[in-house]
């Protein structure tokens, strides 16, 4: 008995000690990151987030497959009490929770252990079948990932069976474990055969197996894909407060006044793993490798070299590899290059900043910020950009729009419409921010005219900046040229400061997001509404009365910068319902899971390989819905889907129109 206690004690101290050392090592790796400028405050909200998303698994169970994780997670939490009981019985063989807290607690605990254990076994069996038979595309297929998954699930299954064997002995020989315990009873009969059978030996074997595997599991967790059990809770607690700090999708501001450009060590963006902030490094260890980011990535679905899950995984492996050298102070000079080595340039440039990965990540990893930081280094530090990107940036700097057209062109679309100019009116209720696309692109000029018609019919007091308007700089920022973005933002804020208005209305979600969310960091605080919100408000207040005159089957395409970036999903759908005389259908991927058109992140201005075009993948969704008309609420989406239908030869079968055009035609 004495030897047993010594061995048990040594195993416990070794397992817990190794786990503690491993967690400390992860903490040291995370601390290698640079400081974050997102403050950690609003602790009540943060505690609520942990309760909702870590313990409540709310994001996990949004998909059917997540319920298996839910039952395993909660099964483990409840069965943690059974595991404590196992260890304590090594020192006190007669210990039961009932002895400590009474018969009622024993009844509840025994019943809970039985059914939670059964739920975990069922979930594990389904998980094994899914991992090795169904093999969903989003799960890694390499040997290391398959071995890791098989080992973890096998250990969990063994833990459950060994627990039931020990409980069977307790039921049979100690007449304990009161309550409804059919599974433990089954294992009792199977393992013993009779009261004087082999159960005591079976108990000892099962007891040792259970405790050794628990300690091995504890030691293995920080060095496996299940390291998220260490990183997920703090990552959820410390995540960006999207209401008080930077809103979802708003990129980090570089304070150029604090940059020492004369220093040899100055870096704009991220060129080495230690250039990331510590919250970004914590992201690496929070990843569950569930593949949901991959499932919702338009670049991945179009065949490009970007897989958000692998980006985070590869960055974690790289950090673990170079961390010890960084601790020692030698800088890991012989390591692989971060950009072009660990993460390919193709992956960095393929991101459309659509937030499909971020929105669907159950542990709130910020993939887009990480990719954008590396893109900033390529653009601002290395000038490592394609000719078409350079031309776009030059156009924005020289002419104030990505098309490179002179500012005089900004008002040609409204000739003869008697659209009031702000320089004449000075003060209005609504300042209509037309945007570059609606002013310069022939297809979207029709949208601008439609918005003007709607506002006039509603009797609104509005005006436009005309030639004073310039690009908000959204594409410059997403293309990595933060300095140009800030210059354009400051110029636009100065222009807007000359006039008086209550609200800015715009038909471009990219302008909407930039004016509403990103200009605030530079002193531009405005109430900005998207035209879908305005139109819905006008319809609801009976200021306009569109007729249901669209007889085609309609589907609405969610614009990323309207939906995932700003949570506007229902307003454009409501607008569509007011003009639809026929059926309105949803695409298979819609709302939070809506697939990007491919234009975001500045990708509107880059050339794609013909067989890897995101807009063609999205147009396939339109066709699969059976829609005859794809309604949009973004000029970029309007262009991309229109191009896609032409490439597919479907101009006669499917129409593409902005919701403003549909409403204007219905007035």
The Cα 470–Cα 407 span in angstroms is 8
C-alpha distances in angstroms, 265 versus 55, 260, 328, 391? 43, 9, 19, 29
**Class of CATH domain 264-381:** mainly alpha
Nearest to 464 by CA among 419, 401, 509: 419
For residue 244, the model assigns a pLDDT of: 63
The Cα 284–Cα 282 span in angstroms is 5
The Cα 501–Cα 524 span in angstroms is 13
Match domain 2-30+63-233 to its CATH number in 1.20.950, 1.20.140, 2.30.30, 3.40.630.
1.20.950
**581 in Cβ contact with 550 (< 8 Å):** yes
The Cα 463–Cα 501 span in angstroms is 9
For 161, other C-beta atoms within 10 Å of its C-beta total 15
The Cα 499–Cα 494 span in angstroms is 10
Nearest to 467 by CA among 526, 422, 513, 530: 422
**531 in Cβ contact with 432 (< 8 Å):** no
DSSP per-residue codes, 283-352: HHHH-----HHHHT-HHHHTT-S--HHHHHHHHHHHHHHHHHHHHHTSTTTTSPPTBTTTB-HHHHHH--
For residue 82, the model assigns a pLDDT of: 84
The residues near 12 (Cβ < 8 Å, ≥ 6 apart) are 87, 215
SS3 for 632? strand
The Cα 233–Cα 544 span in angstroms is 49
For residue 651, the model assigns a pLDDT of: 92
Specify the DSSP class assigned to residue 595.
P
Which residues lie across from 631 on neighbouring strands?
A: 556, 657
The Cα 337–Cα 345 span in angstroms is 11
For residue 618, the model assigns a pLDDT of: 97
The Cα 92–Cα 84 span in angstroms is 12
Which residues lie across from 584 on neighbouring strands?
A: 554
The angle formed by the CA atoms of residues 6, 8 and 12, to the nearest 5 degrees, is: 115
- H/E run at residue 189: helix 182-192
C-alpha distances in angstroms, 112 versus 68, 178, 187, 209, 584? 18, 11, 16, 22, 47
Q: Dihedrals φ, ψ of 421, to 5°?
A: -100, 145
Mean pLDDT, consecutive 10-residue stretches, the chain (667 aa), reads 85 94 96 88 91 92 87 87 84 73 72 87 90 82 83 90 81 61 75 49 82 93 91 93 73 85 78 94 94 94 94 95 84 79 95 95 95 96 92 95 93 93 95 96 95 96 96 96 96 97 97 96 95 97 93 96 95 96 93 95 90 95 96 97 95 96 95
For residue 660, the model assigns a pLDDT of: 97
Report H helices in 31-102.
43-49, 66-91, 97-101
Specify the DSSP class assigned to residue 221.
G
For residue 193, the model assigns a pLDDT of: 44
The residues near 6 (Cβ < 8 Å, ≥ 6 apart) are none
C-alpha distances in angstroms, 437 versus 17, 204, 415, 429? 60, 74, 17, 23
Nearest to 411 by CA among 403, 419, 399, 402: 419
When computed from its CA atoms, the radius of gyration of the chain, rounded to whole angstroms, is: 30
The Cα 382–Cα 393 span in angstroms is 15
C-alpha distances in angstroms, 176 versus 172, 180, 195? 8, 12, 15
The Cα 21–Cα 25 span in angstroms is 6
Question: For residues 97, 102, 107 and 108, what is the CA-based torsion angle, rounded to 10 degrees?
Answer: -70
Specify the DSSP class assigned to residue 247.
P
Range 281-302 burial, b when 16+ CB lie within 10 A, else e: bbbbbbbbbbbbbbbbbbbbbb
The Cα 600–Cα 368 span in angstroms is 12
For 226, other C-beta atoms within 10 Å of its C-beta total 18
Residue holding tokens 């069976």? 161
Q: Which two tokens stand for residue 355?
A: 């937030």
- H/E run at residue 156: helix 143-174
Q: Which two tokens stand for residue 45?
A: 């909200």
The Cα 136–Cα 439 span in angstroms is 45
The Cα 201–Cα 199 span in angstroms is 5
For residue 264, the model assigns a pLDDT of: 65
The angle formed by the CA atoms of residues 564, 568 and 571, to the nearest 5 degrees, is: 150
SS3 for 498? coil
C-alpha distances in angstroms, 264 versus 260, 261, 268, 312, 568? 9, 8, 12, 29, 45
**Distance from the Cα of residue 107 to its chain's centroid:** 43
The residues near 201 (Cβ < 8 Å, ≥ 6 apart) are none
Domain-wise residue ranges, the chain: 2-30+63-233, 264-381, 392-666
The Cα 515–Cα 511 span in angstroms is 6
Nearest to 237 by CA among 279, 289, 276, 275: 279
SS3 for 431? strand
How many residues are recorded in the chain?
Answer: 667
């Amino acid at each position: 008995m004495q030897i047993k206690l010594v061995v048990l004690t040594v195993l416990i101290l070794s397992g817990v000690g190794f786990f503690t050392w491993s967690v400390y090592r992860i903490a040291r790796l995370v601390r290698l990151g640079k400081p974050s400028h997102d403050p950690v405050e609003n602790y009540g909200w943060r505690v609520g987030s942990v309760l909702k998303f870590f313990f409540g698994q709310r994001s996990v169970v949004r998909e059917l497959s997540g319920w298996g994780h839910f039952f395993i997670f909660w099964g483990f939490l409840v069965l943690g009490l059974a595991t404590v009981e196992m260890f304590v019985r090594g020192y006190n063989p007669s210990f039961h929770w009932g002895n400590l807290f009474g018969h009622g607690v024993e009844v509840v605990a025994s019943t809970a252990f039985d059914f939670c254990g059964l739920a975990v076994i069922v979930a594990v069996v389904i998980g094994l079948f899914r991992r090795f038979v169904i093999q969903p595309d989003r799960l890694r297929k390499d040997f290391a990932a398959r071995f890791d998954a098989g080992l973890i699930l096998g250990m969990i299954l063994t833990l459950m069976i060994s627990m039931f064997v020990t409980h069977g002995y307790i039921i049979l020989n100690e007449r304990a474990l009161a309550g409804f315990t059919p599974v433990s009873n089954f294992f009792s009969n199977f393992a013993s055969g009779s009261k004087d059978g082999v159960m005591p030996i079976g108990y000892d074997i099962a007891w040792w197996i259970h405790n050794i595997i628990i300690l091995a599991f504890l030691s293995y967790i920080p060095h496996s894909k299940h390291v998220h059990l260490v990183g997920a809770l703090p990552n959820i607690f410390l995540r960006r407060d999207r209401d008080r700090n930077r809103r979802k999708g708003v990129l980090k501001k570089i304070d150029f006044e604090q940059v020492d450009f004369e220093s040899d060590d100055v870096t704009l963006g991220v060129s080495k793993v230690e250039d990331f902030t510590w919250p970004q490094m914590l992201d690496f260890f929070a990843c569950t490798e569930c593949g949901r980011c991959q499932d919702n990535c338009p670049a991945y679905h179009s065949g490009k070299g970007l897989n958000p899950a692998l980006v985070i995984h590869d960055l974690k492996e790289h950090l673990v590899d170079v961390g010890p050298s960084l601790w020692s102070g030698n800088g890991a000079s012989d390591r692989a290059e971060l950009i072009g080595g660990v993460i390919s340039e193709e992956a960095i440039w393929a991101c459309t900043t659509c937030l499909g990965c971020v929105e669907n990540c159950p542990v709130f990893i910020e993939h887009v910020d990480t990719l954008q930081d590396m893109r900033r280094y390529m653009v601002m530090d290395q000038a490592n950009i394609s000719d078409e990107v350079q031309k776009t940036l030059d156009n924005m700097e020289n002419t104030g729009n990505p098309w490179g057209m002179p500012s005089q062109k900004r008002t040609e679309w409204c000739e003869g419409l008697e659209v009031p100019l702000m320089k004449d009116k000075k003060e209005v209720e609504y300042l209509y921010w037309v945007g570059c696309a609606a002013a310069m692109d022939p297809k979207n000029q029709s949208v601008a005219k439609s918005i003007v018609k709607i506002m006039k019919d509603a009797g609104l007091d509005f005006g436009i900046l005309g030639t004073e308007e310039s690009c908000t700089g959204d594409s410059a920022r997403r293309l990595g040229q933060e300095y140009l973005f800030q210059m354009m933002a400051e110029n636009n804020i100065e222009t807007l400061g000359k006039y008086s208005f209550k609200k800015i209305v715009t038909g471009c979600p990219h302008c909407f997001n930039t004016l509403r969310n990103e200009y605030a960091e530079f002193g531009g605080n405005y109430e900005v509404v998207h035209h879908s919100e305005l139109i819905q408000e006008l319809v609801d207040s009976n200021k306009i009365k569109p007729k249901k005159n669209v007889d085609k089957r309609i589907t609405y395409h969610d614009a990323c910068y309207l939906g995932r970036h700003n949570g506007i999903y229902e307003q454009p759908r409501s607008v569509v319902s007011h003009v639809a005389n026929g059926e309105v259908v949803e695409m298979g991927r819609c709302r939070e899971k809506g697939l990007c058109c491919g234009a975001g992140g500045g990708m509107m201005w880059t050339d794609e390989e013909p067989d890897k075009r995101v807009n063609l993948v999205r147009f396939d969704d339109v066709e699969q819905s059976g829609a005859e008309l794809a309604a949009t609420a973004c000029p970029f989406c309007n262009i991309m889907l229109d191009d896609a239908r032409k490439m597919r030869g479907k101009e006669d079968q499917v129409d593409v129109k902005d919701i403003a055009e549909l409403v204007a035609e219905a007035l």
